[in-house]
A and B are shown apart, each in its own frame.
Chain A
Amino acid sequence: MSQTQLSVADALEQVVAETFSEMAFLDAIPSETPGESSGTQVFVIQVRGDETHHLVLDLPRDAKQSIVENIIATPWEELPSNEIDDCLLEFLNVLGGAFGRLYWGDESKYKLSFPEVRVGIPEEIDDDSLESYWFDAYGQVFALHVARE
């Protein structure tokens, strides 16, 4: 761990802003108030460096639609569910990679798992270590839940 290492919160704030802006052309900033968990489908990736972080992207439907339509440039109604899932998984993959680089630094080695679609917070994630970070993209509030092993 380097002396200048960012906190998880600071790293997430930066990578969420960058990834939303560069990939989905959306501004996303930390939300002062939490939103509601989608309660169903979430997107999960593990970022393994000095320790393992599970990132769980929890998006309401409107946020999913904005991200996917901006990336694929096709109306939501015309997209099959597998393309929507692939788009959001790739979005989380990019976000996870940016988090690893920023959190551990360019000189550190880290790996990513294959991102997955899951229903609810995966059982293997320890609830006690789970922290929720809420963001706002044009009024669409969403969460990144992070658990550290």
Chain B
Amino acid sequence: MDQTAEARKVLIVDDSSTSRMITRRCFEMASAGPICFVEAPDGAAALALLQEQNVDLIVTDINMPKMDGMTFVWKVKMNKRLESKPIIVLSSMKNERMQSALAGLGVTSFVQKPISPAKLAEILGEPV
């Protein structure tokens, strides 16, 4: 059986290549099943990628150039084809207003950086 055919595809959106690498490693350590990744450095690039590829889960930063994470999440949730995609927001900023706004948009989970395999496993244990 081709394992890649069953791998869960995760889109990681972050302007920092270091942050994307850390997120990949955490997923590899926390995920029980096969997993693969596609990446984008900002919301605009991520939206373009989502027009061409299907993904199972989106992980996005908030503070990014060109299109920030809040706008990106809003555009995903306004798109009929994409609105049901689970989204995890991963940001160095954390406050109740932002979390409330993201929850209102239908974001599945919010994690303050730095992410760790333990934090991610806790989230992935839930039905995302």
Q: Does B93 contact A (CB under 8 A)?
A: yes
CB distance from A16 to the nearest CB of B (A): 13
Contact at B18–A109, with CB atoms within 8 Å? no
Chain A residue at minimum C-beta to C-beta distance from B19: A90
Contact at A97–B21, with CB atoms within 8 Å? no
**Per-position 1/0 for A104-115, Cβ under 8 A of B:** 101111111010
Known: A22-B116, A94-B114, A112-B63. A89 touches B16 (CB 8 A): yes
Distance A112 CA – B95 CA, assembled complex (angstroms): 12
- Inter-chain contact count A-B, CB under 8 Å? 62
CB distance from A94 to the nearest CB of B (A): 5
CB distance from A8 to the nearest CB of B (A): 18
CB distance from B49 to the nearest CB of A (A): 20
Residues of chain A within 8 A (CB-CB) of B98 are 109
Chain A residue at minimum C-beta to C-beta distance from B14: A90
Contact at B93–A101, with CB atoms within 8 Å? yes
Q: Does B81 contact A (CB under 8 A)?
A: no
CB distance from B94 to the nearest CB of A (A): 5
Query: Would you call the interface of chain A mostly helix, strand, loop, or mixed?
Result: helix
CB distance from A45 to the nearest CB of B (A): 10
Q: Does B55 contact A (CB under 8 A)?
A: no
Q: Does A23 contact B (CB under 8 A)?
A: yes
Q: Does B85 contact A (CB under 8 A)?
A: no
Contact at A19–B16, with CB atoms within 8 Å? no
Contact at A94–B94, with CB atoms within 8 Å? no
Contact at B114–A101, with CB atoms within 8 Å? no
Contact at B94–A97, with CB atoms within 8 Å? yes
Which of B15, B65, B92, B95 makes the CB contact (< 8 A) with A94? B92
Q: Which of B89-128 contact A (CB under 8 A)?
A: 91-98, 112-114, 116
Residues of chain A within 8 A (CB-CB) of B96 are 106-107
Distance A49 CA – B6 CA, assembled complex (angstroms): 45
